[in-house]
Amino acid sequence: MELHIKTTGNVHCLYDEMLPLREMGKLAIRRGSQVEPTTEGNWHADLALVHGPLLGPFATRSEALAAEVCWLQEHWLPHQ
């Protein structure tokens, strides 16, 4: 799990239950994207919530989730 700790003490990361984040203090969790099925049975990861692209289509939900995490780690998290 990648944590970005600012000089203000704020920590930014992609939410994961790997670490007990509540122990770090008050949490402010917001959604980064929406992973949804298409009418054809494929999957998209829509990153519009963080001003990102629509990724996909993917054959499986797990592929869409992996692409979502990869995009957020590369394009969103470093700028928080």
pLDDT tens by residue, 9-61: 888 898 888 889 888 889 998 888 999 999 999 999 999 999 999 999 999 99
Half-sphere exposure of 65 (CA within 13 A, CB side): 6
CA distance 80 to 78: 6
Q: What is the pTM of this model?
A: 0.84
pLDDT at 42 (0 to 100): 98
Number of structural domains the chain divides into: 1
Please give the residue range of the domain that contains residue 10.
3-79
Cis peptide before 57 (omega within 30 of 0): yes
